[in-house]
Structure 1
Amino acid sequence: MTDGMHHMRQKCLPTYLVIDVSTSMSQHEQVLNQTLKKLHSTLANSPRVSEFAHMSIIAFSTQPWVVIEMTDMEYVPGMPEVACDGMTNYGAAFDLVRDRIDIDLPALTAQGKAVLRPIMFFLTDGAPTDADWESAFRSLVDKGRRRRPHVVTYGFGAAPEEVLGRIATKAAFVADGSSGQDEALSTALHSMLNSLVASAQADELLIPAQATGYKSVPLEYLD
């Protein structure tokens, strides 16, 4: 394919929103579902953004699952609700994202889109409960994989800064304690949405430089 033909295609940023729904998130369950509904509504009513930033939502606790498969959110009639329960197993979530990337990106390419490297926004309020999560993460972001995602992390509650910094490849944020955890959760999702809006306008990935109520965490893993 020539460069000219490539540029004629609609660019697509595959976006994975990976959300901790373990037991410790139970107190935030209502706010989480309300915020996800707002996120869906905003994207569904912003065709340019939803077309550019196709999204998949993955929830994880003891096991991960796909809440919404990779899609243009304009075509999702409503946001399913999530329930919070179980452990905080990072590794299984990373494995699922890796598997889904290998399914989703070829499908988007087959639709005639110019597919950018995916991005994963990872939200958690706790430390991983699985001891071997790092091997799954290394496999997900292995530099030998062309489809490896960029990673932006948001942590609040008991989420450890050093872990957020090890997972992120582009930016890591931890709540600075200036607001309650419910507000920190909704602010994180709002920050992600702002990043997608800006990216759609620029036609390329733009990473949030800051998030209200959060402080930046030094990255250990640089893309």
Structure 2
Amino acid sequence: MVPDVLPCYVVCDVSFSMADHLDEVNAGVREFRGVVHADRRATPQIWLCVVVFAENPLVVQPLRAALDPAEAITPRQESGSDFGSAFTLLRATIEHDVRGLKARRMRVRRPMLFFISDGRATDPAWPEALSQLTAAAWCPEVIAFGIGAVDPPTLHRIGTSRVFLGRDGVRIGIALASSVARAVLRPDHV
């Protein structure tokens, strides 16, 4: 039997404006991993990649089984939030990961991208990079999570599937887990 894999990408803004919220983000990723660990049926399917960005994006944890320990997300001493470069890196990363999984004879579900930010981009051209990401052959389902003093209109443009706001009392770990559970249970998500 060919194993199914759901590639999940947690993408977090680590600029100055997000520094006070990164403990909450790390707790959310730990909570998500705990939920994955509790459901042994879904555990082998869910793989996780962690990307951070401020002025420049960086893959801090390449795609691997979600049960493997996640790298802690730490702030950067950068003031900018360059959404466009993050979306560009994600497009290349997702395409590379999907090709790699398929080469290993795995059945790849539609990737899921969980974008965490206050939604305050410092690069005006980011919508074009998002458009290229969502038009790619392996277009991810994009879920936005707003934390801190959020810009809801921007987050609603990014969250092509769903948008969660921390100020509404939604925790990151629960938003991640419910989004992934919904994807795993939907047969059309392949």
The counterpart of 1:113, out of the listed 101, 106, 113, is 106
Matches within 5 A, 1:41-56: 41-56=34-49
Deviation at 1:99, TM superposition (A): 0.8
Instruction: Give per-residue Cα distances to partners, 1:45-104, cap 9 Å, x unaligned.
Output: 544323222121111111111121111123x2x322222132211111101110101110
Deviation at 1:10, TM superposition (A): 2.0
**How far is 1:192 from its partner?**
1.3
Find out whether 1:189 has 2:180 as its counterpart. Answer: no
Match of 2:17 in 1: 24
1:95 paired with 2:79, answer no
User: What is the number of equivalent residue pairs in this alignment?
Assistant: 188
Aligned residue for 2:42, secondary structure, equals: helix
Alignment of 1:134-173 (within 5 A): 134-142=127-135, 145-173=136-164
Which segment is superposed worse, 32-41 or 93-102?
A: 32-41
Shift of 1:33: 2.4
Show structure 1 runs of 5+ residues with no match.
Answer: 1-7, 206-223
**SS class of match (1:17):** strand
Cα distance between partner residues in 2 of 1:51 and 1:34: 22
Relative distance call for 1:100 and 1:123 in structure 2 (3 A) is same
Check 1:173–1:30 CA distance in 2 against 1; reply closer, same or farther (3 A cut): closer
**Greater CA radius of gyration, 1 or 2?**
1
* CA distance, structure 2, for counterparts of residue 161 and residue 135 of structure 1: 19
TM-score normalised to the size of structure 1?
0.75
* Equivalent AA in structure 1 for residue 138 of structure 2: R
Counterpart of 1:27 in 2: which secondary structure? Answer: helix
**Aligned residue number for residue 4 of structure 1:** none
| More contact order relative to length (CA 8 Å, sep ≥ 6) | 2
- Tell me if structure 1 keeps the 8 A contact 2:31–2:173: no
**Which position in structure 2 is the counterpart of 1:220?**
none
State whether residues 64 and 92 of structure 1, in contact with CA within 8 Å, keep that contact through their aligned partners in structure 2: yes
Q: Equivalent pairs: percent with the same residue? A: 26
TM-score (norm 2): 0.86
Task: Give RMSD over aligned pairs.
Answer: 2.2
Q: Quick one: which of 101, 122, 130 aligns to 1:129?
A: 122
